[in-house]
């Protein structure tokens, strides 16, 4: 006898089962980039992790890893597609650029895949509230840190950056970018628990307290003024990337920067962008010496980015120096993977040669570089990529009185990349309680306050001189004093607790 079940009476599949849960993970990843600049829909930084956590519940470790990978495809495919623009500026065939970008996205997606597999493996013996409120947020932080560290790191789209303009930003001077990510993941766990029949009152009150305290902490000044105001001029040269290194453009580029500097010599400090000099420094020794003497006579200094070739070591370096002041150089130490150096070179060099992609040939500077003295004040210089990593800033503090970020975001074209880059630079100012001066080639040049607010901003893709006055700051925020160590140690202890709990249950079973 055969029993027929009508479609109307058949049970509806659970939204987390099969392809529905997979699709939910991908949608969560696609949503998350909209929490960051230039969009700024910050609640998505809570909703997207909550959807991902929901898809991870009641599935195997292997399935959780797969769903984490799909989440990563959505996150990095939607939020870091601008990398393909950088490849095309390197004269890479568009098809090859697309393949390289797809490969990059697929590799970056392995980090949330690792997170999903790890949580699926270790969470089976934990209660649901402990999983969502304690273990999963801690594991999220550790994997974000790992992504920002391995192979020089890629820190774009770390969860905390989305909160630079929210009440939660008040916590940044205490817990830094990873602490913000932890608080967001915890909030996402509470949101998921609140969807049940009995909303957890205590965790919900804790979320209200966290966000309310963040608003209050924004009124706290962690650092203090340490000197008189400094008039500055940031020159946004707006040299198109395809013209920047053409031999016939060298004279027009130099004329633009030099004439503009002379017209703004009433500023105490003038800043040119990264590699503003259109050639290696040794070819312009006399010009730089003469310009430095001219600026010194007017009590003005120019901080500029320039490429340097070291004859003794035969190394190319991305550098910054000050004309009209001291003779020190700052050499970029945190290089861009594939753009300035090649990770896993022995494996990847033959592949890139086969694809016709250019091979990077820059070398990193020393791990402990000197601070540059500008206008008699110690400054922490960060070249391009370095401002995306808090650890590159912390080593210069509290000695540095303000931060200088020079960059050439023309590599990103008219994409969301420059907006994300500025958002990360703003977080460095907030974490450290320092003014940040950001001079870029095509934008976005800006002056940022110690609270992370943009005080002045140049229009993108326009030649512009940004004038402002900034104040040197002294002292140290709690984050500058203790760094990431407390957050990472706490997260690691919770991970080890979950491992111990699982091993104990296995032994008893």
Sign of the torsion angle spanned by Cα atoms 483, 138, 192, 14 = positive
Catalytic residue among 59, 144, 301, 332: 332
Kindly state the tokens that stand for 204: 């919900």
**How many residues does the structure list for the chain?**
509
SS3 letters across 418-468 = HHHHHHHHHHHHHHHCCCEEEEECCCCCEEECCCCCEEEECCCCCCEEEEE
Question: Chain centroid to CA 485: how far?
Answer: 19
Strand blocks (E) in 208-364: 224-225, 230-236, 269-271, 301-310, 315-323, 329-331
Kindly state the tokens that stand for 343: 């990770």
Catalytic residue among 144, 274, 423, 431: 274
In 3D, which of 62, 61, 52, 47 has the Cα closest to residue 21?
52
Beta strand 269-271 with 301-310 is parallel
Looking at residue 364, the DSSP 8-state letter turns out to be -
Determine the Cα–Cα distance for residues 267 and 469; give it in Å rounded to an integer.
9
Q: Based on the residue annotation, tell me whether 384 is a catalytic residue of this protein.
A: yes
Determine the Cα–Cα distance for residues 239 and 318; give it in Å rounded to an integer.
18
Looking at residue 18, the DSSP 8-state letter turns out to be H
Catalytic residue among 384, 386, 423, 431: 384
Residues in contact with 273: Cβ distance below 8 Å, sequence separation at least 6, in sequence order: 235, 236, 237, 305, 406, 407, 408, 439, 440, 441, 445
Sort 281 into a burial class: Cβ within 10 Å, 0-12 / 13-18 / 19+.
middle
Q: What are phi and psi of 354, to 5 degrees?
A: -65, -40
Q: Based on the residue annotation, tell me whether 453 is a catalytic residue of this protein.
A: no
Sort 466 into a burial class: Cβ within 10 Å, 0-12 / 13-18 / 19+.
buried
* Helix (DSSP H) and strand (DSSP E) numbers for the chain: 17, 14
DSSP bridge pairs for 438: 405, 446
Kindly state the tokens that stand for 9: 């009476």
Determine the Cα–Cα distance for residues 323 and 300; give it in Å rounded to an integer.
9
Determine the Cα–Cα distance for residues 153 and 147; give it in Å rounded to an integer.
6
Sort 91 into a burial class: Cβ within 10 Å, 0-12 / 13-18 / 19+.
exposed
* Active site residues per annotation: 274, 332, 384
């Amino acid at each position: 006898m055969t029993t027929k079940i009508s479609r109307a009476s058949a049970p509806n599949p659970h939204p987390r089962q099969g392809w529905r849960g997979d699709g939910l993970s991908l949608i969560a990843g696609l949503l998350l980039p909209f929490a960051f600049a230039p969009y700024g829909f910050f609640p998505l930084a809570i909703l997207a992790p909550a959807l991902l956590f929901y898809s991870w519940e009641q599935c195997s470790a292997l399935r959780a890893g797969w769903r984490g990978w799909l989440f990563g495809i959505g996150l990095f495919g939607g939020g870091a597609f601008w990398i393909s623009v950088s490849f095309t500026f390197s004269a890479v065939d568009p098809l090859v650029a697309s393949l390289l970008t797809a490969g990059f996205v697929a590799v970056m997606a392995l980090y949330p895949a690792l997170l999903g597999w790890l949580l699926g493996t270790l969470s089976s013996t934990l209660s649901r509230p402990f999983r969502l409120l304690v273990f999963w947020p801690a594991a999220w932080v550790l994997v974000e840190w790992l992504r920002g560290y391995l192979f020089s790191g890629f820190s774009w789209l770390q969860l905390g950056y989305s909160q630079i303009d929210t009440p939660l930003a008040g916590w940044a001077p205490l817990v830094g970018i990873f602490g913000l990510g932890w608080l967001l993941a915890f909030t996402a766990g509470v949101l998921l628990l609140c969807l049940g029949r009995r909303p957890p009152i205590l965790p919900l009150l804790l979320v209200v307290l966290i966000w309310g305290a963040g608003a209050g902490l924004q009124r706290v000044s962690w650092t203090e003024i340490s000197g008189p105001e400094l008039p500055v001029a940031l020159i946004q040269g707006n040299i198109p990337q395809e013209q920047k290194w053409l031999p016939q453009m060298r004279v027009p580029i130099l004329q633009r920067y030099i004439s503009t500097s002379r017209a703004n010599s009433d500023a105490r400090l003038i800043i040119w962008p990264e590699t503003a000099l259109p050639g290696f420094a040794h070819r312009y020794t006399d010009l730089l010496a003469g310009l430095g003497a001219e600026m010194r006579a007017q009590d003005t200094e120019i901080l500029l980015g320039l490429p340097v070739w070291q004859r003794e070591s035969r190394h190319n370096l991305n550098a910054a120096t000050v004309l009209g002041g001291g003779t020190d150089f700052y050499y970029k130490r945190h290089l861009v993977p594939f753009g300035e150096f090649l990770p896993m070179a022995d494996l990847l060099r033959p592949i890139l040669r086969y694809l016709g992609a250019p091979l990077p040939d820059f070398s990193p500077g020393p791990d402990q570089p000197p601070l540059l003295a500008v206008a008699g004040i110690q400054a922490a210089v960060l070249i391009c990529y370095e401002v995306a990593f808090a650890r590159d800033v912390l080593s210069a503090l509290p000695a540095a009185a303000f931060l200088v970020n020079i960059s050439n975001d023309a590599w990103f074209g008219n994409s969301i990349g420059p907006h994300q880059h500025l958002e990360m630079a703003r977080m460095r100012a907030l974490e450290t309680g320092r003014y940040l001066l950001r001079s870029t080639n095509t934008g976005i040049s800006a002056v940022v306050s110690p609270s992370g607010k943009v005080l002045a901003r140049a229009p993108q893709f326009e030649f512009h001189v940004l004038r402002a006055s900034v104040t040197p700051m002294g002292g140290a925020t709690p984050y500058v004093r203790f760094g990431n160590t407390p957050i990472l140690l706490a997260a690691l202890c919770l991970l080890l607790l979950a491992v111990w709990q699982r091993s104990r249950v296995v032994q008893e079973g």
